[in-house]
Amino acid sequence: MAIIIDGKQIAKDLNTQTQQRVATLAQQGIVPGLAVIIVGDDPASAIYVRNKHRKAVKLGIKSVVRELPATISQAELLEIVQTYNHDDSIHGILVQSPLPVGLDEQAIVAAIDPAKDVDGFHPLNVGRLLANLPGHYPVSCTPRGIMTMLGTLNEHLRGKQAVVVGRSMIVGRPMAAMLLNADMTVTIAHVHTKHLSDLTRTADVLVVATGVTHLIKGNDIKRGAIVIDVGMDRDENGKLTGDVDFDAAVDRAGAITPVPGGVGPMTIATLMQQTVDLCEWSEQLGSN
Ligand SMILES: NC(=O)C1=CN([C@@H]2O[C@H](COP(=O)(O)OP(=O)(O)OC[C@H]3O[C@@H](n4cnc5c(N)ncnc54)[C@H](OP(=O)(O)O)[C@@H]3O)[C@@H](O)[C@H]2O)C=CC1
Ligand SMILES: Nc1nc(=O)c2c([nH]1)NC[C@@H]1CN(c3ccc(C(=O)N[C@@H](CCC(=O)O)C(=O)O)cc3)C=[N+]21
């Protein structure tokens, strides 16, 4: 039986640290501020945004949720991003994705001040991560949270094989960059990858982010591997499940994340951590 990586508990510990950092900032009269922009009425997005807002408020972070109609124009949305860019009480700006059709997500993300880009999606920050530049900059929260989870396992990653299934800008690509920066040998798989099972069986660390329910079966996993399931999928009964067949995988893996209670809570906790990072960096108060 694999170790079940308790994302909920690791997220709780991270949130406790974040709360302490917020309290220290408060003594200096500083309140970290997060602005979340949500366009249209996608129900899943609405739930995530509400969860983020609740968590921020709980930790003492100022949270502004800006709900906008799907009919908003590109120019109007850019204008709103600009107001937060110039608002000194806001340290992190997040535009919930996906945006309704007709809006150019890349152009919106590029308009965010890179120093306030709490999702780490701005091309400047993506480039810094890919180049493994030193210094302070935000990165995508889901893979950063996964690196935090991997850190709790006290396993050496250097020189080992990583396979990342999925190549999105939010998960797969930044995840591969972070694992490479941790000196792993990284392969990225996607829909055109041939013999996926043969590839995943080579992975000491397997990260799956496809949105395909139970794409990865038990025998696709190397014995003893660390398996990270990013998927937030629905099974045939409408229940939340992952991209990995957990019940089969748990007998093969060395460690595995559950869904729910794995990567999801870490994403939100990392978003809070990174909001406080951005606040501290902007105040030049050092970092962690
Ligand atoms: N827990 C969390 O915090 C988060 C969870 N998620 C969840 O993670 C999953 C992935 O999200 P996201 O990265 O945004 O998704 P995208 O749809 O943007 O990307 C999915 C990726 O998976 C690849 N893919 C799809 N089907 C297959 C297949 N059969 N074999 C191999 N590769 C495949 C696609 O390849 P190609 O590029 O070739 O099309 C693509 O690169 C979703 O379930 C999402 O809900 C996402 C973000 C955060
Ligand atoms: N700009 C942007 N940034 C994002 O970070 C972003 C986004 N857009 N769009 C959508 C995805 C998805 N995402 C999740 C966050 C938390 C959970 C989460 O908390 N999941 C819980 C369960 C939640 C439930 O029960 O529905 C868990 O896995 O235990 C999941 C998914 C962030 N995303």
**pLDDT, position 276:** 98
Task: Tell whether the model's pLDDT for residue 288 goes beyond 60.
Answer: no
ipTM, two decimals: 0.98
State the pLDDT confidence band at 159, using cuts at 50, 70 and 90: very high
State the binding site. 166-168
Q: Catalytic residue among 55, 116, 119, 243, which?
A: 119
Beta pairing class for 161-165 and 185-189: parallel
**pLDDT, position 53:** 96
**pLDDT, position 44:** 87
Mean pLDDT, to the nearest integer, of 16-37? 98
**pLDDT, position 284:** 80
What does the alpha-carbon distance between residue 210 and residue 244 come to, in Å, rounded to a whole number? 10
Residue type, 277: D
**pLDDT, position 166:** 99
Q: Is 52 a catalytic residue?
A: yes
Q: Which residue's CA is the nearest one to ligand 1's atom 24? A: 210
pLDDT digit string, tens, across residues 71-82: 999 999 999 999
State the pLDDT confidence band at 10, using cuts at 50, 70 and 90: very high
164 DSSP β-pair partners: 188, 207
State the binding site for NADP(+). 166-168
Which residues make Cβ contacts (< 8 Å) with residue 173, sequence separation at least 6?
126, 167, 188
207 DSSP β-pair partners: 164, 228
Share of the chain above pLDDT 90, in %: 97
pLDDT digit string, tens, across residues 235-278: 999 999 999 999 999 999 999 999 999 999 999 999 999 999 99
Residue 265 Cα: closest atom of ligand 2: 19
**pLDDT, position 285:** 61
pLDDT digit string, tens, across residues 165-220: 999 999 999 999 999 999 999 999 999 999 999 999 999 999 999 999 999 999 99
pLDDT digit string, tens, across residues 220-235: 999 999 999 999 999 9
Task: Tell whether the model's pLDDT for residue 287 goes beyond 50.
Answer: no
Scanning the chain, the segments in alpha helix (DSSP H) are 7-27, 43-59, 74-85, 105-111, 123-131, 141-152, 172-181, 196-200, 246-249, 263-282
Give all domains of the chain, ordered by start, each with its CATH number. Answer: 29-114 (3.40.50.10860), 141-264 (3.40.50.720)
Which residues make Cβ contacts (< 8 Å) with residue 167, sequence separation at least 6?
173, 176, 188, 190
